[in-house]
Structure 1
Amino acid sequence: MSIKLKCLSHTPLRGLNDPGADVVREVDEILAKARAEVEAFDPELIVVFAPDHYNGLFYDLMPPFVIATAADSVGDYQTQLGPLSVDKDLALEMAKFILDSDIDIAISHRLQVDHGCTQTLEEMTGSLTRYPVIPIIINSVAPPFGPYRRVRKLGEAVGKFIAKLDKRVLILGTGGLSHEPPVPLLAGAPEEIANFLIAGRNPTPEFRAARQARTIATGKIFGTPDCELTPLNADWDQAFMQLLQDGRLAEIDDFSIEEISRAAGRSTHEIRTWVAAFAALAAAGSYTARQDYYRSINEWIAGYGVLSAEQA
């Protein structure tokens, strides 16, 4: 058994909004380095903790956690369209182990995943199908949310399962850091928006294009007086990444959902994927971690960070 971890911010606006040539070059270089490390590791399995942005999961049935035995990318925001190479049998074994660990997790045999899952998978492997993968989606944008201790315990259960495998396993966490894109809330939403949030699967190309255009437009004014959304919070991001690097995972149990939303933005809760990823790695033994990159990028509506870790 050998385990490595990569946690990366994702942003659907990379390649759509321009933060400047220097920033683009920095991010391209760090992603190329990370991908080279993944290729050198040559994982036999990738476990990816990811959020969803009302593309696969809706309020008609919104599970806190769901594991996929089969998954297809919806191809939003320039990501690849089509199936992921999900290891069905191993995903089922993992689901049973998680349930036996007293963690309730839903199972999908036909899950739709969006850029929250696929962008990082593509960036790290160049494909949706290069390596066997098990996607685990953690609700991070659709309140109400369960407490952070539940996310940590989910990660622990996954890590204990991975520790039993005689495989090279790459754990990916994709989401966050501080950011608040124009994602609607169900509470108080107009009927048309509420209907979408409840059961908006398989939208028309025109609807998807309009939705993406709103996000692109927001990125062009984000961080300016013209934008009322919560600004990026580099101090919060750095403190959170340091906590993970230091292995102070028990402190996560005390995280306040409301305080995080106020300090760093409502979609910052995508850090749940990072929490689960590091908890999985920690459950398999002690680890060493490093920060590879951080920058606040308003044009991408992202506190953009990259963390790497491996067994000590």
Structure 2
Amino acid sequence: MVVCASHSPGMLRDTGEEDGATFRAGIDEARRRVADFAPDLVVFFGSDHRRAFVDSVPAIAVMVAADGLGDLGSPTGSYDVPADIAEPLAASLLEQDFDVTVVRKVALDHGFGQTYSHLIGDLPTVPVIPIYLNCATPPLGGPGRLYALGRRVGEELARLGKRVLYVGSGGLSHSPPSLEAAAAGLSDEERIKVNEAGRAAAKDKINPDWDQQFLKRIAHDPESLATFTNDDIVPAGVGAHEVRTWIAAVAAGATPMETVAYEPVPEWITGMGVVTTSADALRSAWPPPTISDPRSNRL
């Protein structure tokens, strides 16, 4: 199964849930589908907002241990990372000429945590392999290369014969002032000041036409993502580079996809979307699970 979903700090500020009703309903539907699928393993393609990786910034990193940073309401605690699967996966990717970094200790921010909590719940809950993709700190690699990465990950893990959920978190169109700024390593207080100063202008940088075209690609021509370029993303803003995580997840799962929800939310300065493996494909792919606790079938 595949789920890709936007994340946004704006959801935390919106304590009264006044905005994003369509997106919230889409997340609820995706969470129901994930619960029905009952994954044995989650492979989570996520980004970092210049918190975990500042002085040294890998293009791709496979985590063999990770904690939740707890920023912006994201969960704290430790991810349940099956190192006995993650390490061989990283080794295989290296053998296939993907220059991945293996990370043995890291605290992951809301680029992982917010969508994890929306779809799955508190940490740890389900075994998960976090795979970090650099989406924020130039120079950035080509997004099409991450389609190839995702496909290789999917092929490797298909050999396990387990129920694997692939998640991509981030995007769609948005251009946060703190990411537009050249300086890395801002404190959360400094980020808030920068973002507040530029919030009004950022509301106008959502690009619904770009978002809709990207969603159509996923549903009708996912193979075209293999040739996606940085120039293709530029019209959607610096934050849209997070769709690299979607590209990798879609390629890994290689399932028919459908848009569950899309909504531009100016107050969150982001085009918010949710896509999943199509409902028809989910019904036909696996029989109902015979175990009640996915951790009891741990790999």
- Flag whether TM exceeds 0.5 (same fold): yes
- Once the two structures are superposed, residues 274-306 of structure 1 have per-residue CA deviations (whole angstroms, 9 ceiling, x without a partner) of 000011112xxxx22111000111111111000
The answer to whether the 8 A contact 1:97-1:157 is kept is: no
Shift of 1:219: 3.9
Tell me the equivalent position of 1:309: 277
Whether 1:293 and 2:267 are equivalent positions in the alignment is no
Q: C-alpha separation between the residues in 2 aligned to 1:119 and 1:77?
A: 8
Deviation, structure 1 residue 218: 4.0
Instruction: Quickly say closer, same or farther: Cα 1:20–1:157, change in 2 above 3 A.
Output: same
- Name 2:135's counterpart in structure 1: 140
1:272 aligns with 2:240: no
* Offset, 1:20: 6.8
Alignment of 1:1-16 (within 5 A): 4-16=1-13
Deviations 1:89-131 (A, max 9, x none): 1111211121122211100000221100110000001112110
Q: Work out which of the residue numbers 58, 64, 68 in structure 2 matches 1:69.
A: 64
Whether contact under 8 Å (2:46, 2:133) holds in the other structure is yes
What is the SS of the residue equivalent to 1:15? helix
CA distance in 2, matches of 1:214, 1:122: 27
Cα distance, 1:13 vs. partner? 1.3
Of 236, 254, 262, the match for 2:227: 254
Aligned alpha-carbon RMSD (Å): 2.1
- Residue deviations 1:182-212 (CA, integer Å, cap 9, x gap): 12467xx5xxx4xxx2xx4xx8xxx323423
Residues 1:93 and 2:67 aligned together:
no
1:148-182 per-residue CA deviation (whole Å, 9 max, x = no partner) reads 22111111110111211121111100011111001
**2:144 alignment partner, one of 140, 149, 165:** 149
CA 1:154 to 1:289, structure 2 compared with 1: closer, same or farther past 3 Å? same
CA-to-aligned-CA distance 1:201-258 (integer Å, 9 cap, x gap): xx8xxx323423543564455335xxxxxx1111111111111111432x23433313
How far off is 1:32 after superposition? 1.8
Which of residues 177, 192, 200 is equivalent to 1:212? 192
Aligned positions of 1:88-167 closer than 5 A: 88-167=83-162
8 Å contact 2:46–2:169 — kept in the other structure? yes
Equivalence for 1:228 = none
Distance 1:210 1:36, change over 3 A: same
* 1:19–1:299 contact (8 Å) kept in structure 2: no
After superposition, the C-alpha distances for 1:34-85 in whole angstroms (9 at most, x for unaligned) are 1111111111100000011111111x22111001000112111111222111
**Inter-CA distance 268–184: structure 2 relative to 1 (3 Å threshold):** closer
Specify which of 206, 209, 225 is matched with residue 232 of structure 1.
206
Point out the more displaced range, 148-157 or 169-178: 148-157
Report the alpha carbon displacement of residue 134 of structure 1 after superposing the two structures with TM: 0.2
Aligned CA distance change for structure 1 residues 306 and 216 (closer, same or farther; 3 Å):
farther
Residue among 32, 42, 47 paired with 2:38: 42
Secondary structure of the structure 1 residue equivalent to 2:10: coil
Normalised by the length of structure 2, the TM-score is 0.87
- The answer to whether the Cα contact below 8 Å between 1:290 and 1:308 also exists between their aligned partners in 2 is yes
Change beyond 3 A, Cα 1:160–1:264: same
CA distance in 2, matches of 1:223, 1:25: 18
Identity of aligned residues (%): 34
TM-score (norm 1): 0.83
Distance of 1:81 and 1:18 partners within structure 2 = 20
Q: Is the 8 A contact 1:179 1:265 kept in 2?
A: yes
